[in-house]
Every structure is written in C-alpha cells, then in structure tokens.
Amino acid sequence: MDSSSHLPDMSMAPQFGGGVGDSQAVFGGSANPVEIGTASGSPLGTIAKFPTPPPSLGRSAAAVRRFMLQSAARELVPGERVSKCLRVPAGSIVDVFYTPSARSAHYAGLQTCGSIWMCPVCASKISERRRLELEQALAAFDGVLVLATFTVQHGIADALAGLLGGFLASLERLRGGEPWRRIVTRYGVSGAIRALEVTYGGNGWHPHAHVLFFLPPGVDLDAFADALRGRWLALLARAGLAASWAVGVDVRAAGGAVGDYVAKFGSQWTAAHEMTKAAVKWSRGAAGRSVAELLADYALTGDGEAGRLWREYAMLFRGKKHLVWSRGLRARLLPELDEKTDEELANEHDQLAVLLASLSLRQWSVVVANDARAELLTVAASGDCQQLLDFLRLLGCEIGGD
C-alpha cells in the first residue's frame, strides 16, 4: 500500500512555515533579493484557485491544503493564535526565502502560532521534527520497545469534556504511586513517552494515549501487558470510567515498522509516526475520523457538524501537552540535542536559504486578501524572481517600476 495515499503529511515539507528572524538565512546569495517597491493595487478578488486536492498530494499541493485548512481553523476559532499564524506581519516587511537545496520557500516576518492542535501548518512542521527527534532517540536505545495504547469506553452521547477530564487524570495517576513503582521495578521500565490523541467515530469521541515503554531485553511482554491492564482499569474505575480487559490497553512490540499500523498506514509507518502525528494523521478508511479529517470535512465539503466537533476538540486540547517524556529519558537518549518548544520548532528553518523578495505590508495584504499565501510559496519554490514578480502582478500588487 502506498503510504502517501493515506498520510500526505509524511512527506510534509519542513521548509514551509515561516517565522521571524531566520538566523540561518544568507542574504545576497545565489538569488538576488528583489525590493518590490510600493504597491497600490487592489486584490483581483478572483484568481484561479488550486482544485480541491485529494488525500494523495505532491509536496506543494499538500502545502496549499495545509494553508486552506488553517484558514478553516481561523473561521472556527477566530480568537486563537492560529487565526494570525503566517497571516499577520510581525514587523514592517514580509520576506520570502528560497532554499535551493530543497527547492522550497518559506516566509519570515510573520506571526506564527506554534499550535500542534489547531494549526495544520505548524502541526505539520512540529510533528515532523518531533518524529525525527524520536526516531533518533529510539535508535539510541538498546532494549525492547513496547507501544501501548490506553483507551476508555465511550458512547455517542459523551461530550469530549466529560471523557477527557477523567481520562487525563487516570493517565497522570498511572505514572505515580506505589503500584506504578512496583511495575517499574518488576519489569525494568527505564522510561516512557506519552502521546495524547483523539479521533471521532461511530461511538463518538475516542480519546486515547499511546505510550512507548523502554524495557530491558528478555522482558515478559504478556505479563507486562497484564500488569498495565490491571492498573489502567483500576484507575479508570476510580475516575468513574471504564474499559474492557480485552481492548482497554493494546500492547505491541514497537521495533521497526509497527505491525498492524503498516496495514493501516503503509510500510514506512513506525512507532515514531504513531507517537507524533496525532494532529496531522489522515486515517481515511480506518474506524473514525482523525481531527485533521474533521477539519478537512468542514473545509472541503462544508460539513458543519465536523466543524462543530473540531472546535469542541480544539478548545479542549488547547494548551495540552502532546508529547510527554518521563524524567531523565530525553537527556539519556539525546544528550547532544537541545530540547525545543513547539513554538521554536515552528519557527525553525534548518537549511541555508536566500532572500528572494521583501514584500511591503501593503503588498502582503494583497496576497492575504487573495488567499494566496500558499500559492506564493509554490511559485517562490522555483527560485525564480521573475516568476514571483509575475505572480504578484497577477494578484494585483503594484511592483516598483510598473
């Protein structure tokens, strides 16, 4: 199965995004920066829009869709930072950078939100960097990796708020107290990483957590799984929730590509993907819709109920940590790597870039009014200043010298 047909964001372009002050940008490099003069043009109002893309997308079409979904998020949660992300200038110019080695482009000089839960553009970038970081950590570990998924029983009538409180409290309690210390000692647990996720299916909201456990070689996995189940069911009961013994905790070995997930997502799907891609997963065909699909259904098909559900999710997950490493694990596995916040990752550009153009605020407002932020990057990814100028003229920007 072609993984890209289900997960366009696996091939996400980390260079798309933008931000303020790209410290690695090289000014006056191989492409000559263009000062575009003053703009007095008004938006054309209608320019040819890219057709609605299917889930299987090339890199630039995937970027266009991320911006389109970001605009939909802005409609649904207008007061949140995502509504300003890569839209509202941070200063008096907006720079367009071109990265020759990747044949890609990004912005600088715009506000960015860094929201893994709400912003498809930032989430794509953050999740890919978190995945690479996690792959590196897993490669540095010399033991048995186990991916456990903790779930809770739910019904179509359950509001997400009601489920999530007890679920998160149970997750917190799982890693504390004497019962947990006994499990850690008995099975030699040297660390764990927790990822929070939610989907929406025939039985309503399905909050769940993937926890990657770091265990010693030769560990008795069946006994470990039973210990997890016993503890999890007891904790859920304490929170007034329940799960069945059979499906409450799914435990599987997590080396290399992850068994059943390969069938679901494609041969390159690893534990690191499963852990980091909660906000950008595209699980069409699997049970339930991912949050990315809810937003896409709202944006692309006008599904108002999907939009309402996405807003319910977004406002509840807002500010919640997506990935939590157990204390000391990160320092042991990635001693050389600085820990960065989501905001820092969203603003990072790790390849040498050259300044292709600087847009005045007025010119930028024309780009935004035409909803052409992604298309502009697609054009800029050619590295050709003239194409970019032609595109800006098409939008209605007045260019110096016109």
| Interacting residues with Zn ion (CB under 5 A) | 85, 113, 119, 122
Question: Nearest approach, Cβ of 16 to Zn ion (angstroms)?
Answer: 11
CA distance 195 to 275: 6
Closer by beta carbon to Zn ion, 346 or else 399: 346
Closer by beta carbon to Zn ion, 85 or else 211: 85
CA distance 65 to 68: 5
Question: Nearest approach, Cβ of 215 to Zn ion (angstroms)?
Answer: 36
Measured N-to-C along each axis, helices 59-76 and 304-317 cross at an angle, to the nearest 10 degrees, of: 80
Question: Nearest approach, Cβ of 340 to Zn ion (angstroms)?
Answer: 16
The residues with which 212 forms a beta bridge, in sequence order, are: 147, 193
Provide CB contacts within 8 A for 16, sequence distance 6+: 63, 66, 104, 105, 106, 121, 124, 125, 377
Supply 348's token pair: 């990072």
Provide CB contacts within 8 A for 102, sequence distance 6+: 13, 15, 351
Question: Nearest approach, Cβ of 64 to Zn ion (angstroms)?
Answer: 16
> For 9-119, where are the alpha helices, taking DSSP H only?
59-76
Closer by beta carbon to Zn ion, 85 or else 160: 85
Question: Nearest approach, Cβ of 119 to Zn ion (angstroms)?
Answer: 3
Task: Give the residue carrying structure tokens 């997506």.
Answer: 322
Closer by beta carbon to Zn ion, 213 or else 317: 317
Closer by beta carbon to Zn ion, 148 or else 377: 377
Closer by beta carbon to Zn ion, 71 or else 270: 71
Question: Nearest approach, Cβ of 113 to Zn ion (angstroms)?
Answer: 4
